[in-house]
Structure 1
């Protein structure tokens, strides 16, 4: 009898089978699992799903991911199916980080904003990262750049870090001037040379994010933008190693003991709330079918000979038959 895949317990019993695959039930953690590597209610193996998720947040388009699965695994799911994977397991990822908080956040934070295109309109993506750990403390999307928007960003960052910083570095946007940063917090607005090294960190983050959004060719609506930003936060903080951090993730440097190391672990997460995915019509995202194998021989159709006119006339209408 195999051990439980979630808690490694041996207190496991058989729990029926589905399509010839044996299922098991763990009496300790009350979880169900299968004997093979596929996920529940899915035909695609877990390694292909996790590879698609990682490729998506690393910058590959959905159509490029489909071609990769076709070439490497001889599996050709529709683009709508891959999009539903992203929707579903992004919610798994955001649910998995609840309750985890960075413990070793530095005293210097860097805030900035960049523009994204959503449904043909420009919206603003606000970010604030820790200078020491590169941990993305807060991110939000807004349609304006007011003081209220900047204040909401700072409040989220303080809630995540559990403290106020000593220094906050921003650009020269006037909205940052009236923000309440904290009693002992110094606000430094970006000067070209004095804070060049610090501003380069957030600009490097935004250049990475813009590479991702270019592949997406414009987010479709504000809901998809929120889902993407939430998934990107998990990928950037917890799953993506940083070369400047000795190939560690920002969460590891910030002292977060996160149990999952990659998207394959995220797909095995047991969410604490229902997961909602919107069904995409297959015809709206499906690529053209690709024929695999010997090329088909196309035989040109011969045109029909012209029909000969008859000399017999209809006795009522007078037309030739």
Structure 2
């Protein structure tokens, strides 16, 4: 496992810590104690370094598995994240069912940032995955960004930009759940560390919402853990996991 070469701990332990931190909204010191109860003596500063290195890598490797909108009706909004005492802006896009499509952390809130975010979100999607409707708040920046993306051929000409406040209740509620994970951090030091950590939060939120359910062999929390481990070549393949599960189920059936 070259991804964990020269690390004092095994890859399973490192991914275990990163998953717990990004999924449950605990502080680094609390996680240090939780791991100590399980016989893993690791300092909270080491866990921090693990999160900074591996949370973005997990999100990158699993991106193709969870990032597929279930609807062409999107909800786009931004929320505030404090970085070194200054508010920054986390742009987010969900479909109408609440599935995360993409996100982007920006130091500014203007048409340029909105365009950069929407361009990133549209990039890599198939034509049938691109939005028929994008619902936003009343901020004029989104209208400018969408118009420019249409002119550049990056957004379908038929995409309707709608500004209906109550339709964004889905994404506003999801902001709150994400903030529960961010709260124990008590402020990020830099934009880079903030974005690295948030990538882990967003990825684990997507898995928790079942966005990679097709790859979750056991359809439970253990299956989520295996999705992450397989991305780093730890343990058996998904096919081997499925075969083993079927074998266990057959053994449990009465003769």
The normalised TM-score by structure 2 is 0.73
- Report Cα offsets for 1:67-100 as digits up to 9, x if no partner: 1122x31333111111122123224313423555
- Does the C-alpha gap of structure 1 residues 101 and 217 become closer, same or farther in structure 2, counting only changes over 3 Å? closer
Structure 1: segments with no counterpart, 5+ residues: 1-30, 33-38, 243-248, 272-321
Structure whose alpha-carbon radius of gyration is higher: 1
CA shift in 2, pair 1:121/1:104, >3 Å: closer
RMSD in angstroms over aligned alpha carbons?
Answer: 2.8
CA–CA distance in structure 2, aligned partners of residues 117 and 78 of structure 1: 25
Equivalent-residue separation in structure 1 for 2:55 and 2:142 (angstroms): 31
Deviation at residue 45 of structure 1 after TM alignment: 5.6
Shift of 1:160: 4.1
Unaligned runs of at least 5 residues, structure 2: 148-154, 234-255
The reply to whether residue 184 of structure 1 matches residue 149 of structure 2 is no
SS at match of 1:161: coil
Match of 2:42 among 60, 66, 77: 77
Return the structure number with greater helix share.
Answer: 2
In structure 2, distance between residues paired with 1:42 and 1:140: 30
Higher normalized contact order (CA 8 Å, seq sep 6+, divided by chain length): 2
Aligned match of 2:73: 108
Once residues 102 and 73 of structure 1 are traced to their aligned partners in structure 2, the CA distance between those partners, rounded to angstroms, is 33
Q: Which residue of 1 aligns with 2:99?
A: 135
SS at match of 1:53: helix
Q: Any residues of structure 2 matched to 1:1-321 within 5 Å, and which?
A: 41-44=6-9, 48-57=13-22, 58-70=24-36, 72-97=37-62, 99-100=64-65, 102=67, 105-132=70-97, 134-163=98-127, 164-178=130-144, 179-180=146-147, 182-191=156-165, 196=166, 198-237=167-206, 239-240=207-208, 242=209, 249-252=210-213, 261-263=223-225, 265-267=227-229, 269-270=231-232
Paired residue total: 217
Residues 80, 87 of structure 2: 8 Å contact kept: yes
2:243 match: none
Q: Any idea what the Cα deviations from partners look like across 1:47-77, whole Å, max 9, x if unmatched?
A: 544442222112011001011122x313331
1:160-212: CA deviation from partner (whole Å, max 9, x where unpaired):
43233111111111211222253111111133xxxx2x322101211011111
Task: Check whether the contact 1:59–1:211 (CA below 8 A) recurs between aligned residues.
Answer: yes
